[in-house]
């Protein structure tokens, strides 16, 4: 799990991106760490701290060490900011409010790590499960608790499937109802491995040549299609067809 997953939304993400590294003149990577407070948990005189205190902060792994660094930066926000947050053109009171919220969030997560034997991995797993539940609930409402293709209405048999693969989706895309289909288990399996996909303009099914001799076995018909297609589905369906579909 990356820090960008925990702190990747809206103003929160904007503030981190503006402050990391701390100010335009932050020289944390020179030997004497001139502009880096030496009591940072990751301070290193041989090349600087880990990438959590760089513009690549969102790609740093979310673990106790990186969260301690992040906590250090925001406990000393006024020092590390150097006015960079001004480029966001937000009222000062709003920035202060968000900084306070980030401080509390860091403290809460670090507290969870201390109390949990599984540490950040356990926290990450709970967050993923929570997000998967939210995503499924959104799809159940959007597709009216029926399979997006066959119309099966037993929601216990339906799978919430991402169109654009979860592994390359942004935090927002992972929860976007238009990046999901509610499918029966067979269609979900075929869609996930790229043996079927759907046209973005009319939702018509496209079947891989690898299974065209087995349509009956999989219960497929060439006239199958999504019950509805919104313009917001288009970029996700185009992505699935381009990177996942096996022609």
For 201-228, write each residue's pLDDT tens digit.
Answer: 999 999 999 888 888 888 899 999 999 9
Q: What mean pLDDT is predicted for residues 6-23?
A: 75
Please state, rounded to an integer, the average pLDDT across all residues of the chain: 79
Strands (DSSP E) found in 66-207:
159-162, 180-183, 196-198, 205-207
How many whole angstroms separate alpha carbon 205 and alpha carbon 196? Answer: 7
Domain boundaries, position 155:
130-243
> Is there a domain that residue 124 lies in?
no
Last residue of a domain, one of 80, 115, 150: 115
Same structural domain, 79 and 139: no
Torsion angle defined by CA atoms of residues 193, 221, 150 and 202, in that order, rounded to the nearest 10 degrees? 80
Q: Which of 115, 141, 167 is the last residue before a domain boundary?
A: 115
47 pLDDT higher than 50: no
List the end-to-end C-alpha distance of the chain, in Å, as a whole number.
32
Domain count, the chain: 2
Task: Name which of 83-97, 181-195, 217-231 the model is least confident about.
Answer: 83-97
- 8 Å CB contact between 37 and 17: no
Whether 11 has a pLDDT exceeding 90, the answer reads: no
Say if 122 falls within a structural domain: no
Give the per-residue pLDDT at 237: 95
Query: Would 125 be classed as within a structural domain?
Result: no
Q: Whole-structure pTM over 0.85, yes or no?
A: no
State whether 110 and 13 are in the same domain: yes
């Amino acid at each position: 799990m990356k820090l960008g997953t925990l702190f990747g939304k809206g103003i929160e993400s904007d503030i981190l991106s503006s402050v990391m590294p701390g100010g335009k003149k932050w020289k944390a990577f020179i030997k004497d760490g001139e502009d880096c407070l030496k009591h940072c948990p990751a301070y290193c005189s041989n090349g600087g701290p880990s990438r959590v205190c760089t513009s690549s902060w969102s790609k740093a792994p979310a673990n106790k060490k990186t969260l301690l660094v992040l906590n250090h930066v925001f406990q000393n926000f006024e020092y590390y900011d150097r006015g960079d947050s001004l480029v966001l053109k937000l009222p000062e009171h709003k920035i202060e409010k968000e900084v306070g919220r980030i401080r509390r969030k860091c403290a809460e997560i670090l507290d969870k790590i201390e109390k949990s034997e599984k540490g950040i991995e356990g926290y990450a797993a709970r967050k993923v499960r929570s997000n998967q539940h939210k995503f499924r609930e959104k799809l159940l409402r959007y597709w009216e608790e029926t399979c997006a293709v066959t119309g099966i209405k037993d929601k216990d048999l339906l799978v919430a499937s991402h169109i654009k693969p979860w592994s390359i989706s942004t935090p927002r895309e992972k929860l976007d109802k238009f990046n999901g289909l509610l499918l029966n288990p067979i269609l979900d399996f075929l869609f996930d491995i790229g043996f079927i996909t759907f046209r973005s303009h009319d939702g018509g099914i496209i079947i891989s040549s690898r299974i065209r001799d087995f349509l009956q076995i999989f219960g497929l018909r060439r006239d199958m299609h999504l019950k509805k297609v919104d313009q917001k589905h288009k970029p996700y369906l185009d992505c699935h067809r381009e990177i996942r579909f096996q022609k």
